Chain A
Amino acid sequence: MRVQLTINGIPRQVVADPKLTLLDLLRDVLHLTGTKQSCDKKGQCGACTVIVNGKAVRSCLLKVANLEGAEVITVEGLGTPENPHLIQEAFVLSGAIQCGFCTPGMIMATKALLDANPDPTTEEIKKALRHNLCRCTGYLKIIDAVKLAGRFIRGEISPDEVRPDPDGAKLGVSHPRPSALAKACGTAQFTADIIIPGALELATVRSPHPHALIKKIDCSAALKMPGVIGVMTAKDIKGTNRLKVIFADRPVICEDKVRYIGDPVAVVAALTREQALAAAEAVEVEYELLPVLNSPQEALAEGAIQVHGDPPNLCYTQRQIKGNAEKALAESAAVVEGRFITQINHQAPLETEACVAYFEGEGEDAQLVVIGRSIDIHQHLAMLQEALGWEDMRYIEAYSGGQFGIKADITSEGIAAAAALHFKRPVRYIPTLTDSLLMTPKRHPFDMKIALGADNEGNLTALKMDITVDNGAYSSIGPIVVDRAFLMLSGSYNIPNVHALGRLVYTNNPWGSAARGAGPPQAHYALECAVNMLADKMNIDPLEFRLFNSLKPGQTKSTGSVVEQWPFPELCEAMRPYYERSRREVSEHQSGTVRRGIGLAAGAFGVGGPGDQAIAAVELNDDGGVTIYAAAADPGEGNDSMFTQLAADIMGLPLNKIRLSTRDTEQTTATGPSAASRITYMVGGAVENALGKLKQAMEETGAKTRQELEQAGRPVRYIGTKATLEKGPADPETGLGPSFESQIHALQMAEVEVNTETGEVKVLKMTTAVDGGPVIHPQNFEGQLEGGADMGAGFALREEYIAGQTRDWVTFKFPTIQTAFEHKLIIRETPRVRGTHKGSTGVGEMTMVPTAPAIISAIKDAIGVWIYELPATPDKIKAALAQRS
């Protein structure tokens, strides 16, 4: 039917199919791609929020046929980067924008709220934005942004009064993030926003079975369906068909066997996405079911079927032996023991796993260009070259909607690049959320048995820990996750005797890989709960116990490596007044149905692992500015701010004279993954090194511009590197050897409220004392802490990925603004000896490490029971209470 409506002030006539949603009209027809889509049009994410007739609506739920006469405003109708709306400026200036994928929807919901109520309370803001999900921020800075926007709109203050002086100090100041306005205005191009007229759309046929042989793939029905161009299977891949990280175990498309629910079996290419999805349903796959290994215990049983064969189900074992833990435990005055289990969890970036691929050039010069979501474009390029048997390839990172480890692995790129090669046509693979959940790696579940001892004086004596890690069907960086847990095993403490065994086991569960923190968050759940148990058993205050047992410079970590800085005791002292006040406050609420408790947990998160190295290039520009070249992805953390402010400070240049080239394998240095909290410390260090060389050349010649430096006969481009002092590897028998050369220290206190009848837990407040060295951009720094703690709370209380059941954001239990909590930050800035520039490190992961044990310990403080298996759902809490009584 014909519908007349106005979109961003422009009258439109649309002859609409009854099924056409407003979101489809905006994105697919009008290419107003500022409006985003994450939840398969279920109305779960709010990324598609626009304003219709003055009200915020989720455009995925509205049919165009019902919008006769409607006035629609999208984010593009609000402002542009050159002329932004006050709300867009408020989001930028509040540090409310990280990856930016949720931002347009948040801003439109804010517009509708402030139009009706220019001075909303926090509760009113939470209600108005309750449909809008954000994975990055923990929502706190979004609430700040709405309040600031209200002040702008009410005329109480102007953006110019809030905006830091761009000519002022470069470090320690929250200058607007370079990418923030584009994200706020919807002009930042995420992969699904890229228009390729005529591109084939892809859909993947995935295994519904966790373990089966593929006996037959019948594509005949699918091939007859409208718009279908073809179906490809593993036989159409010309390379190794293996995405090798450590073991060459994961196929781009499965050949003869599937190993988990979601393994790819075939790929359909069609003229439209709907046609591809429909045809994928019509591909008939005949499976012969195999025994399913649901757990490491089943996989390690005698005679168990092998997931791969080579390597065997027990694919990696690592020990860590320092001193004599058995003897020390036997001689300890007090020992606590426990078994702690963590769940399979999804990292949950809001953007789905989109990728496009196409050829540039023709014949022998044809280059395959892959645009996607990688945080390690050079490594992934090399993997794709081998897997697909095509060398002339280039990877470009688009704007990326969050990652949290998930984008350290290839997912959709393998399918898209293979299809472009096979069909010799440009392709778009914009998977559904359900498809994205199936294809992606997950946080490894850990099953941990721990024993921790102390002597009569309260000195920690020994730690024994057996960790069994469910690797799932493929290994990716599984061995590295075990290693990382071991490198940080003793956490913040001096533990003279350690005996640990880590085993990584293939099963038919979803495959594990990088997930914010990658190992230590799981291991610290056991360690930090055990520390609190031991303090309790010895009747020592847990804060004093931590302070007393803090590692000190000159002592050794569990790896045997000596530390030279350890500013953790200062964090304990900084936390003390908050802790004592909260202790007093909760003591008044520790009876009755709803009880409160507090819990402490610490972390010492390593950066600069053994053998890490980074490389960056800098180039002097014609106008005296500098361009930085390094493949340092920025899926939301704020690396653009870090590089810009770092370089401006080092070179004495205005911020707008610093340019970044970070997204293209043909332009950038292969500087390693944007993971492991390493970008500021490692790549920032390499940039600092390169800038030092450039600056020296400019000072020696007096040159201010590229032309002047060239005339002086000096290079205008310089390579810089940073490498950690120790390379490793650890001793294979004892696991002893070099560890991370610097640490971000944190001590967290959770305050919770537990309903003993329903088992519901509410996080009331988190207090984090943190020291990561000098802070370059306070808002970005705080944003990582707030968002990470929100993720940690989800890990502790709600989130779990259950294969075959977790299909969207509701079944995943995505954190909302309603579950957001107050977060007090205590920031100390001890310069690190080998930190970047003034001694900075990175803080992206640390906050995941202590959050779950702090919350679980707070639950114990409130109701007297320990929860030994995450997430601490109401059912588990009620069961624990029932068992105690």
Chain B
Amino acid sequence: MSSFEQSGSPPRKYIRSIAGRDVMFDQEGFLWQPDDWCEEIAEVLARESGLESLGEKHWLVLRFLREFYYNNGRAPLNRHLAKGTALSLLEIEKLFPGGIKYGARRIAGLPNPKKCL
């Protein structure tokens, strides 16, 4: 099949070793299962995103995100996040290099909504 090598390669979920355990991530680098998350993983993901360390406000955001998820089964809208943390959206966006979705939510281990399997 001569054209095989020229095939596109859709991004796939993958397993990586992180913080001493094998964890599955989706194609956008979000945890596949939020139960796999731990603080050590958050710290690794934060460093990879450009943060030297996670400070108090970071943890405030991350803990709110996880608490919201485990109470509602979904990620909060930004308005809920701002209200729940008493931080402005601008402030939260600045806290995380990837912004709220690709920064805070990813580091908090919240999964993307799933598509068809």
Contacts and interface: CB of A to CB of B under 8 A. Distances in A.
A673 B70 contact: no
B116 A477 contact: yes
A678 B117 CA distance: 9
User: Interface range on chain B: under 10, 10 to 19, 20 to 34, or 35 or more?
Assistant: 20 to 34
B3 interface: yes
Interface in A840-869: none
A392 B112 contact: no
Given A392-B79, A668-B74, A670-B73, A316 B116 contact: no
B17 interface: no
Contacts of A671: 73
B15 to A, nearest CB: 8
B76 to A, nearest CB: 10
Interface string A475-500: 10101100000000000000000000
B13 A673 contact: no
Given A300-B3, A382-B112, A727-B24, A719 B8 contact: no
A455 to B, nearest CB: 28
Nearest to A386: B101
A246 B27 contact: yes
A719 B66 CA distance: 13
A397 to B, nearest CB: 14
A246 B10 contact: yes
Most A CB atoms within 10 A — which of B15, B32, B35, B77? B77
Interface residues of A, number: 59
B108 to A, nearest CB: 15
A314 B115 contact: no
A630 interface: yes
B102 to A, nearest CB: 11
A670 B79 contact: no
Contacts of A508: none
A408 interface: yes
A611 interface: yes
B7 A672 contact: no
A727 B113 CA distance: 16
A702 interface: no
Contact of B115 (A300, A376, A501): A376
A285 interface: no
A382 B113 contact: yes
Contacts of B11: 246
Given A246-B27, A392-B79, A669-B73, A312 B8 contact: yes
A315 B10 contact: yes
A719 B70 contact: yes
Nearest to A629: B73
Interface stretch (A51-59, A531-539, A613-621, A805-813): A613-621
Contacts of A611: 13, 24, 32, 117
Given A408-B116, A518-B116, A613-B114, A670 B7 contact: no
Nearest to A606: B117
B78 A672 contact: no
Nearest to B5: A317
B14 interface: yes
Interface in B59-117: 70-75, 77-79, 111-117
A68 to B, nearest CB: 53
A675 B113 CA distance: 14
B33 interface: yes
Interface in A710-733: 717, 719, 721, 723, 727-729, 732
A379 B114 CA distance: 6
A373 B11 CA distance: 28
Contacts of A391: 77-78
Contacts of B70: 719
A480 B116 contact: yes
Contact of B74 (A246, A609, A670): A670
Main secondary structure of the interface of A (DSSP, over half): loop
B73 A616 contact: yes
A752 B24 CA distance: 49
A719 B73 contact: yes
A227 B9 CA distance: 47
Contacts of A729: 12-15
Contacts of A616: 73
Given A501-B1, A629-B73, A315 B116 contact: no
Given A378-B113, A514-B116, A727-B32, A311 B78 contact: no
Residue from B11, B15, B71, B75 whose CB has the most chain A CB atoms within 10 Å? B71
Interface in A337-379: 365, 367, 376, 378-379
B113 A613 contact: no
Contacts of B73: 615-617, 629-630, 668-671, 719
Contacts of B77: 391-394
A160 B32 CA distance: 49
Contacts of A501: 1
B116 A676 contact: yes
Contacts of B72: 617, 669
A49 interface: no
Contacts of A132: none
Contacts of A665: 74
Contacts of A379: 112-115
A609 B117 CA distance: 6
A610 B9 CA distance: 20
Nearest to A393: B77
B72 to A, nearest CB: 7
A503 interface: yes
Interface of B: 1, 3-4, 6-15, 24, 27, 32-33, 35, 70-75, 77-79, 111-117
21 contacts: A246-B11, A246-B115, A247-B8, A247-B10, A311-B9, A314-B7, A314-B8, A315-B7, A317-B1, A317-B4, A382-B112, A391-B77, A475-B10, A477-B116, A480-B117, A518-B116, A611-B32, A673-B115, A678-B117, A727-B13, A729-B14
Given A518-B116, A672-B114, A719-B71, 12 more contacts: A246-B11, A247-B8, A312-B8, A317-B1, A392-B79, A610-B117, A612-B114, A617-B72, A673-B115, A673-B117, A678-B117, A727-B33
Closest 10 CB pairs of A and B: A669-B73, A311-B8, A315-B8, A317-B7, A379-B113, A378-B113, A609-B117, A672-B114, A670-B74, A615-B73
